[in-house]
Amino acid sequence: MKSSDCSRRKLLQYLAGSPLLAGLDNLPLIAAERLDDRDYIAESAEWAVNVFDMENVALKNLSQAHWTYVSQGVDDELTLRANRAGYERLHLRARRLVDVSTISKQTELLGHTLASPIIMAPVGGLGMAHTNGEIEAALGARNTGHKMILSTAATFGIEDVTAARGEPVWYQLYATNIWEITQGILRRVEASGSDVLFLTTDIPDRNQDRMRRFDQNSDACTDCHIPGTTFADRTMLQGLNAPRNISSQNMAMDWAWLRRLRDSTDMKIVIKGITHPEDARLALSAGVDAIHVSNHGGRADESGFATIDSLPEVVDVVRGRIPVIMDGGIRRGMDVLKALALGANAVCIGRPYIWGLAAFGQEGVSKVLQILDHELEVAMRQAGTPSLADITRDTVR
Ligand X SMILES: Cc1cc2nc3c(=O)[nH]c(=O)nc-3n(C[C@H](O)[C@H](O)[C@H](O)COP(=O)(O)O)c2cc1C
Neighbours of 191 (CB within 10 A): 10
**Which of 62, 153, 236, 274 touches ligand X by CB under 6 A?**
153
Question: CA–CA distance from 79 to each of 76, 304, 370 (Å)?
Answer: 8, 4, 27
- From 177-185, 321-329, 332-340, 369-377, give the range in contact with ligand X by CB under 6 A: 321-329
Nearest CB to ligand X, comparing residues 333 and 350: 350
**Which of 160, 327, 335, 373 touches ligand X by CB under 6 A?**
327
**Which of 52, 69, 156, 171 touches ligand X by CB under 6 A?**
69
324 alpha carbon, distance to own chain's centre: 15
How many residues touch ligand X under the rule CB under 6 A: the total is 24
**Which of 73, 86, 122, 333 touches ligand X by CB under 6 A?**
122
DSSP string covering 309-350, please? HHHHHHHHHHTTSS-EEEESS--SHHHHHHHHHTT-SEEEES
Q: Residue with the closest Cβ to ligand X?
A: 350
Provide the β-strand partners of residue 149: 170
Residue 272 interacts with ligand X (CB under 6 A)? yes
Nearest distance from C-beta of residue 100 to ligand X, angstroms: 27
Residue 123 interacts with ligand X (CB under 6 A)? yes
- From 8-16, 21-29, 213-221, 294-302, give the range in contact with ligand X by CB under 6 A: 294-302
**Which of 86, 323, 350, 361 touches ligand X by CB under 6 A?**
350
Residue 121 interacts with ligand X (CB under 6 A)? yes
Instruction: For residue 130, indicate whether it is catalytic.
Output: no
Provide the β-strand partners of residue 396: 92
**Exposure pattern of 274-287 as b/e (b: 16+ CB <10 Å)?**
bbebebbebbbebe
DSSP string covering 48-110, please? --SHHHHHHHHHHHS-HHHHHHHH--STT-HHHHHHHHHHHT--B----S---SS-B--EEET
Residues that bind ligand X (CB under 6 A): 69-70, 83, 121-124, 151, 153, 172, 200, 272, 294, 296-297, 299, 327-330, 348-351
Active-site positions?
296
